[in-house]
Amino acid sequence: MVKVGLTGGIGAGKSEVSRLLADLGAVVIDADRIAREVVEPGTPGLAAVVAEFGEEMLTPQGQLDRPKLGALVFSDPERLAALNAIVHPLVAARSAELEEAAGSYDVVVHDVPLLVENGLAPRYDSVIVVDAPEETRMDRLVRLRGMAPEEARARVAAQATREERLAAAHFVVENDGALADLEPRVRAVWDRLRTV
């Protein structure tokens, strides 16, 4: 088994690279998806978030109000650390279960947005960083995700710098253009991973 960490700043296109790697045959373990699962209604994770942040972080249907919580934690590093202290151990435990279920010859890609921020690079045989210039990322966040510019800036500022991510990379996938440009770049990294 080859264990790969995949990361990139918000808006860099990490999810698209993750999808392309899955299409090529990687076993993808998506930390964002798991982070959503561990705070679903009825989970201990959601109960812990409510205990920390209050009932006002729930929708009328009893689900986590992710935009409301995000607006709070991404403007307050202490509140973000409190949320991470709840969610990250739950995500790590579920990720480990999924990795154990993979085959011994598989390439297992851990899609981890905060890989660098949480010092996780040493856990992997290789780290792939999806990179795009900040102005490209900001444009994607505002234009494609509908974020207000100040929210986009807060999200970018809450993450590692581009330089910090690149320093952790074994492979860098540049994603500042079209999808047609991205696919051969991902395939080239995949071909190298298959020979590790």
* pLDDT exceeds 80 at position 196: no
* pLDDT exceeds 80 at position 123: yes
Quick one: pLDDT band at residue 190, thresholds 50, 70, 90? very high
Identify the CATH number of the domain in which residue 31 sits: 3.40.50.300
Determine the structural domain holding residue 115 and report its residue range.
Answer: 2-193
Read off the pTM.
0.81
CA–CA gap between residue 2 and residue 191 (Å, rounded): 13
Burial status of residue 176 (CB atoms within 10 A of its CB: 0-12, 13-18, 19 or more): middle
Question: Tokens for 76?
Answer: 């307050």
pLDDT of residue 167: 97
Determine what percent of the chain is predicted with pLDDT higher than 90. 81
Give the three-class secondary structure for 188: helix
Quick one: pLDDT band at residue 12, thresholds 50, 70, 90? very high
pLDDT of residue 90: 96
> For residue 4, what are the β-bridge partners?
109, 126
* pLDDT exceeds 90 at position 120: yes
* pLDDT exceeds 90 at position 28: yes
Quick one: pLDDT band at residue 39, thresholds 50, 70, 90? very high
CA–CA gap between residue 128 and residue 119 (Å, rounded): 14
* pLDDT exceeds 90 at position 179: no
Of how many residues is the chain composed?
A: 196
**What is the pLDDT averaged over residues 189-196?**
90
Q: What is the DSSP letter of 56?
A: G
Going from the C-alpha of 140 to that of each of 40, 93, 115, 131, 153, the distances in angstroms are: 28, 32, 21, 13, 12
CA–CA gap between residue 120 and residue 104 (Å, rounded): 22
| Cβ atoms 139, 97 nearer than 8 A | no
pLDDT of residue 158: 84
Residue partners of 109: CB distance under 8 A and separation at least 6:
4, 5, 6, 18, 21, 22, 26, 27, 28, 29, 128
CA–CA gap between residue 160 and residue 156 (Å, rounded): 8
Give the total number of structural domains in the chain: 1
* pLDDT exceeds 90 at position 195: no
* pLDDT exceeds 80 at position 136: yes
Strand ranges inside 24-148, DSSP E: 27-30, 107-111, 126-131
pLDDT of residue 81: 92
